Amino acid sequence: MGAKAPSPYRPVVEKQIKLYPVLIYGTTYCFWCVKAQQLFEMMKVGHHVIHLDKDPNGEELSIALYEITGQNTVPYIFLGGKYLGGFSQLTQGLKSGSVQDEFRRLNILFEDFSF
């Protein structure tokens, strides 16, 4: 038995990750996905959201995201083409300042707030 072929949607996801500096893959019914979006909105950070439950290829995109990240839970948050993690990693990064540092590195304007 050989290795499983990669998802045909992997190149699609990789292109999206490169295209959007701040990208969230989530679902419309996921509490943590909504909270991640709200945090970016509070910071006035432009971000792009792909709702896997609304996208006609959502299931295939989810498989590709699992291949890329090794995770199978939403939200999938990407900054500057790199996988940050989910909501917990986002809040940890905001508390430590590493997310803000990444925004600065990417020349993304944001409003800082006490977290």
* Digit-coded pLDDT (tens) for 13-53: 999 999 999 999 999 999 999 999 999 999 999 999 999 99
Residue 1: predicted pLDDT: 52
Quick one: tokens of 8?
Answer: 């045909």
- Mean pLDDT rounded to a whole number for the chain: 95
Mean pLDDT of the region 81-95 = 98
Which domains are delineated in the chain? Answer: 10-105 (3.40.30.10)
Burial category of 87 from C-beta neighbours within 10 Å (exposed 0-12, middle 13-18, buried 19 and up): buried
Global pTM?
0.93
- Considering only CA atoms, which of 71, 81, 58 is closest in space to residue 9? 58
